[in-house]
Structure 1
Amino acid sequence: MIPGKYRSVSGRAANNVNCGLHLVIQTSSLPEKNKVEFKLNKDTSSFPGRLLQHDLERNYSSRQGDHINLVSSSLSSFPILQRSSEEKILYSDRLSLERQKLTVCPIINGEDHLRLLNFQHNFITRIQNISNLQKLISLDLYDNQIEEISGLSTLRCLRVLLLGKNRIKKISNLENLKSLDVLDLHGNQRDVDNLPCLQHLFLSFNNISSFDSVSCLADSSSLSDITFDGNPIAQESWYKHTVLQNMMQLRQLDMKRITEEERRMASVLAKKEEEKKRESHKQSLLKEKKRLTINNVARQWDLQQQRVANIATNEDRKDSDSAQDPCQIDGSTLSAFPEETGPLDSGLNNALQGLSVIDTYLVEVDGDTLSLYGSGALESLDRNWSVQTAGMITTVSFTFIEFDEIVHVLPKLKIKFPNSLHLKFKETNLVMLQQFNALAQLRRVDQLTIDPQGNPVVNFTLWKYYVLFRLSHFSMQKINGTEVTQNDMIMAERLFGILAHVASSELPQYRLISILGDARKKQFRYLLESKGKKPGIINEENNDSKRLVGENTNRATLNYTTRDFYNEKLEEIKEKKKFCKTYIEDLVKEATEINMKNEALQKLWPQMFIELVRDAVIEIRNKNSYMKLCLQQITDQK
């Protein structure tokens, strides 16, 4: 880290950028007469696009080397510089060692007055032997092999440091150069970071392909001029407004002054981008919340399935121990769930708490698909759905919901979403073919998708044929994404046609009449609904009405009773049995008592008859007394 004027380069851009950096730092406090002037060199071979060079009034770079001697010293591995007196007088404050094939910096003695020093186009790998040049203002080390900035801490008067086309990877060891105005680092292998005093930055032709590579420059409040031309990002459509919206303090971009209109457009686009980011963030949060909610629903579903499995196992054991009637079903099977035990996954639990996701169901409308997760989502069918949304939905997906619970809402489904043609079931406990009978009460089904996950019924070889047979009046088009052919329909009829005949023949007469009556009611209802509608609409709905009315009586006898409904029926039957049993017991008891009384009467009757005759004879023996007694009784009654 470089304190004060410079800081070390951040590692954010180190991976993919070869940034040749040309930095121009101007200090407004410098006297005008002491400022070093610069101009753009037309020779673009040394720096693609732009290169700042000293405007030296006298051109000495190509001739001065002829008057310089580099003498090897036995006492040191460095050559020693020697100049003639005339050379020192002619170029008293400047020295050029350009193209001398130097691999090290020579020892320069007796030249403490030097202000300009040029080492261009050599092979120097390290900056050395110049710490004694205390008055040096400009040091040019362009096109060498220097890998690290060092050896400059004593040059406190240095204003221009040209290190372009070297092997430098980061800015370092510049904290003591308080007077430095110009730092040229183009054509190096280094990163770009925030420089607090930076005003002009030239990054042309540096293969910068992502703005993220130089986004750290947006923190520089002093930066007023920057160039990115010649880089891949300059060809992107978002290039200009992205740079301007991130660097609002810029006055020039690619050597062109920035207009107020360009700033305004960048500001507008920045607001749009910000809104887009907020919306994207919002969508990401909603997506994450959805994911966590579904995970929560899935966990609740798994717990429920484990409980049901445990209860079923316990019931089987009870049945085997007590030789219980196998047809008997306990109505409390689904409700007697044990309490949840064991800790939840800590990571998921923390995530749920962070997003306040504790829902056990999810309702989602995505295009023409209504997705329901968890049994609680079925309550959404009671909402007041808008006509537009309800009419748009053609696919309804059920996930983590017991099929028996779905059966109860099928009548609502065909009323709320009359255009629903495709049903999807995943983790719904479809375990037997009879459950498909419940789908016959829908308005129309063109496609059916049964996911193998959580639906063991798909393991049955003939399940598709049974669906086609039972729901033949729908003329189904696809099952699990596979087209239904005429051969499939013929095979379904051959396999299960006899089943419907047997079921209808075993059904009581009153049930057949009831089923036939329901079919007539459907037909009559569709006739009523078609009245008052336009002919085109009637023609479109004729096929639907034919499908529903086309369900023949034999197939209609194949229905499905949910477990809850069956349990309710069993409870109702139990109550009836109990009532009948009590009633019959009361009748038997009463009849028994009557019979016992009759038998007792038959035993006592002979003696009772004799006593009655005797009492009557005795009572009327005195006729006058008897008559008076009778008259007296009559008088008392009045």
Structure 2
Amino acid sequence: VNNCLQLVIQTSSITDKNKPFEFRINKEQSSFHNRLLQHDLEKNYSGRQGDVQYDNTNFGSSSSITSFPVLQCTAEEKILNSDRLTLERQKLTVCPIIDGEDHLRLLNFQHNFITRIQNISNLQHLVFLDLYDNQIEEISGLSTLRSLRVLLLGKNRLKKISNLENLKNLDVLDLHGNQITKIENINHLGELRVLNLARNLLTIVENINGLDSLTELNLRHNQVCSIKDVDTLPCLQRLFLSFNNISSFEDILCLADSSSLSDITLDGNPIAQETWYKHTVLHHMMQLRQLDMKRITEEERRMASVAVRKEEERKRESHKQTLLKEKKRLTICNIARQWEIQQNRVALVASLNTDKDNEPCQINGSAAYVFPEESRSLDTLLSSAVQGLSVLESHLVEVEGDTLYLYGSGALECLDRNWSVQTATAVVTVSFIFIEFDEIVQVLTKLKTKFPNSVHLKFKETNLVALQQFNALAQVNRIEQLTVDPQGNPVVSFTLWKYYVLFRLNHFNLQKINGIQVTQNDIVMAERFFGILAYVASSELPRYRMLSLLGESRRKQFHYLLEGKGKKSGIGNEEGNDNRAGGESTARATLNYSTKDFHMEKLEEMKERRTLCRTYVENLVKEAADINLKNESLQKLWPQMFIELVRDAVVEIRNKNSYMKLCLQRIADQKE
């Protein structure tokens, strides 16, 4: 600005914060008072005083340019307002040609219908250009206005910021109330101090580096959800972000790195509804003096610091719990997949073993089945799936409240660990998930000692397929509740499975089965359905097998009964006395369960015994046959052999002297 013209920006003091900015143009020490520019440059500028409005402005026509009106001012008007021209509310659709006014410093086109900026390139000394409330769609025609300091284009139809390359001296740029979606082409405006982009369509604040003199940035009423590059503005003091879409502090994290920012507004954003909003902002922006137009006290800063520390601790703990839950979820998913793969393989093997259509063929001298192509593909798929999941945990042990959850067969090993007394006594429910029931049977006895207060067993995806498997639960010390999930336990599809459980585990006095209360009628029905089964099993069982199933005290009682030393009344009430004493009845004890592995071991042992016996008998038979064969051969050859023996003896002793000499010679040879 030259020596005779000065642009002054005044800000109100803190006590007069409701007063707007005042832009005042001074010429030769004279001032035009009350020339106001609103704080956020969003309001109507028509209330300004001190500007002369040309209500009776005369527009002529130019012979050379007939499409634009030509502004003609009287000599008196030029003297009174030599550097100012106001043409607001003149219903102009184009910018008129202004002849002889090259000295203008201030030009006002407010509240017209202008669609394009033109015919002002000759105003080389223009400092203030106001085109508020028009219909301009593109910034153009300003490349020659190198002295321009204030450009007001609010409430137009702009969609893009462009053509400002030569306006390097801009001090104020107002583009509020347009349709701008992106901040661009302003990085060269190093002198810009006020930028107003309120009421546009911005979603991301970026590309603002290079605005080294910017002190105020207005972004109210946009759709901003993320802010970048604000920390690169060394002079930014006031940032207005009210009524946008900022929902987390991470979206405005760069503001914490700004050392000059002292006033910020975030009201009207989703983040302002959070309980931690004020504390977090104050904790990360210690340099702030005002937040949402309210002064910040030292007490608020101290409370914010304490609250933020607590919030961070809570978030860390929450994050830790989230990670643990996610790890648990992934582990359970992996266990479930491995279980499914295992079940598919078992089903595949079973189907192949029962497939009678496949004929055996010779491969390398050994018999083998011809596998269908689908089977080979499935097996390959399952193998690759197992390899892909091997990096995850294959089992999970978790104590939640009074329940011990065991996922996967590997979890059964946890029963061997040293549990604390508090944890062991607190466990009331034990839940088995994705574990073969035959594997569970092997550790049931450990539940007695490890978790003495466990009274509720849950089974889900455990392959309970037969009623006799429930016999194994008699090993447990005490059961009050039993839950068998239909998922992965086909035995639940049997109508009478609950009655069998009540009958076989009668000595436990079960209270609930699958969450349903057990009634006395259920117990009577169970006895009616399966009472004869126990009698048949015990009557057909050999004595030595019966003794092997009973404990030492029960064996003595059993011997006592068999020897007839007990009274008849005692014999008749034996089973009832056992039940009243809380023990398992003798008849029911004969209903036991052997796991597949145990059964296979027994079969293998019996097979080995049969093989040994067969081999021993075969050897005996072979030896006897050989002896008999030799005896028969001897009987056939003996007569001839006897004749030959007699003949040889007679021949030898026929010459007595020769025979004696021969005998003496043999004796002499033996002595030598």
TM-score, with structure 1 as normaliser: 0.69
Q: Deviations over 1:579-627 (max 9, x none)?
A: 6667888999999999999999xxx9xxxxxxxxxxxxxxxxxxxxxxx
For 2:570, the equivalent position in structure 1 comes to: none
TM alignment of 1:63-462, pairs within 5 A: 64=51, 66-67=53-54, 69=57, 71=59, 75=65, 83=73, 84-89=77-82, 91=84, 93-105=105-117, 107-108=119-120, 111-191=123-203, 192=205, 193=227, 194-195=229-230, 196-197=232-233, 199-203=236-240, 205-208=242-245, 210-211=247-248, 214-215=251-252, 217-218=254-255, 221-225=258-262, 226-256=264-294, 258=296, 262-263=300-301, 265-312=303-350, 342=380, 356-357=391-392, 359-462=393-496
Deviation of the 1:480 alpha carbon:
2.8
SS of 1:503's equivalent in the other structure is helix
Deviation of the 1:447 alpha carbon:
2.6
Deviation of the 1:182 alpha carbon:
0.9
Question: Is the 8 Å Cα contact of residues 341 and 382 (structure 2) preserved in structure 1?
Answer: no
Deviation of the 1:259 alpha carbon:
5.2
Distance 1:189 1:315 in 2: 70
Question: Is the 8 Å Cα contact of residues 456 and 480 (structure 2) preserved in structure 1?
Answer: yes
Q: 1:489 to 1:546 in 2, by over 3 A?
A: closer
Deviation of the 1:403 alpha carbon:
0.9
Distance 2:34 2:137 in 1: 26
Deviation of the 1:441 alpha carbon:
1.7
Deviation of the 1:367 alpha carbon:
2.4
Q: 1:360 to 1:177 in 2, by over 3 A?
A: closer
Q: Deviations over 1:193-240 (max 9, x none)?
A: 323216134436415461358425437534512122354533432111
Question: Is the 8 Å Cα contact of residues 81 and 109 (structure 1) preserved in structure 2?
Answer: no
Distance 2:112 2:622 in 1: 135
Q: 1:415 to 1:147 in 2, by over 3 A?
A: same
Question: Is the 8 Å Cα contact of residues 397 and 406 (structure 2) preserved in structure 1?
Answer: yes
- 2:593 paired residue among 543, 556, 560: 560
Deviation of the 1:387 alpha carbon:
1.0
SS of 2:198's equivalent in the other structure is strand
Matched AA of 1:38: T
Question: Is the 8 Å Cα contact of residues 457 and 481 (structure 2) preserved in structure 1?
Answer: yes
Question: Is the 8 Å Cα contact of residues 40 and 51 (structure 1) preserved in structure 2?
Answer: no
Question: Is the 8 Å Cα contact of residues 70 and 81 (structure 1) preserved in structure 2?
Answer: yes
- 2:10 paired residue among 19, 37, 40: 37
After TM superposition, the structure 1 stretch with the greater mean CA deviation from structure 2, 514-523 or 386-395, is 514-523
Deviation of the 1:101 alpha carbon:
4.8
Distance 1:211 1:512 in 2: 74
Q: 1:591 to 1:67 in 2, by over 3 A?
A: closer
Q: 1:201 to 1:186 in 2, by over 3 A?
A: farther
SS of 2:197's equivalent in the other structure is strand
Q: Deviations over 1:236-281 (max 9, x none)?
A: 3211122234445545433455556555554554444444444444
Q: 1:42 to 1:188 in 2, by over 3 A?
A: farther
SS of 2:81's equivalent in the other structure is helix
Q: Deviations over 1:145-178 (max 9, x none)?
A: 4333234322221111122333332222213322
Question: Is the 8 Å Cα contact of residues 154 and 176 (structure 1) preserved in structure 2?
Answer: no
Deviation of the 1:469 alpha carbon:
2.1
Q: 1:304 to 1:133 in 2, by over 3 A?
A: closer
Distance 1:37 1:406 in 2: 84
Q: Deviations over 1:263-308 (max 9, x none)?
A: 5554554444444444444444433433443344334434433444
Distance 2:199 2:556 in 1: 84
Give the paired residue count: 525
For 1:21, the equivalent position in structure 2 comes to: none
Question: Is the 8 Å Cα contact of residues 10 and 21 (structure 2) preserved in structure 1?
Answer: no
Deviation of the 1:408 alpha carbon:
0.8
Matched AA of 1:508: P
Q: 1:65 to 1:392 in 2, by over 3 A?
A: farther
Structure 1: segments with no counterpart, 5+ residues: 1-32, 323-337, 524-544, 605-638
Distance 2:509 2:60 in 1: 102
SS of 1:189's equivalent in the other structure is coil
Distance 2:127 2:556 in 1: 106
Distance 1:178 1:283 in 2: 49
For 2:537, the equivalent position in structure 1 comes to: 503
Q: 1:343 to 1:165 in 2, by over 3 A?
A: same
TM alignment of 1:472-621, pairs within 5 A: 472-512=506-546, 517=551, 549-574=582-607
Distance 1:314 1:559 in 2: 31
Q: 1:51 to 1:566 in 2, by over 3 A?
A: farther
Distance 2:556 2:280 in 1: 65
Distance 1:573 1:415 in 2: 34
Distance 1:548 1:589 in 2: 60
Question: Is the 8 Å Cα contact of residues 72 and 78 (structure 1) preserved in structure 2?
Answer: no
1:54 equivalent in alignment to 2:23:
yes
Deviation of the 1:440 alpha carbon:
1.6
Deviation of the 1:376 alpha carbon:
1.8
The structure richer in helix per residue is 1
Percentage of pairs with the same residue: 54
For 1:635, the equivalent position in structure 2 comes to: none
Distance 2:355 2:310 in 1: 67
Deviation of the 1:43 alpha carbon:
13
Distance 1:215 1:522 in 2: 84
Matched AA of 2:53: D
Q: 1:405 to 1:77 in 2, by over 3 A?
A: farther
SS of 1:497's equivalent in the other structure is helix
For 2:563, the equivalent position in structure 1 comes to: none
Q: 1:213 to 1:52 in 2, by over 3 A?
A: farther
Distance 1:397 1:491 in 2: 28
Deviation of the 1:183 alpha carbon:
0.7
Question: Is the 8 Å Cα contact of residues 461 and 489 (structure 2) preserved in structure 1?
Answer: yes
For 2:366, the equivalent position in structure 1 comes to: none
Deviation of the 1:136 alpha carbon:
1.6
**C-alpha RMSD over aligned residues:** 4.5
Distance 1:522 1:444 in 2: 24
Deviation of the 1:406 alpha carbon:
0.7
For 2:369, the equivalent position in structure 1 comes to: none
Structure 2: segments with no counterpart, 5+ residues: 1-5, 26-31, 36-47, 85-103, 206-226, 361-375, 558-577, 639-672
Distance 1:427 1:89 in 2: 95
SS of 1:161's equivalent in the other structure is strand
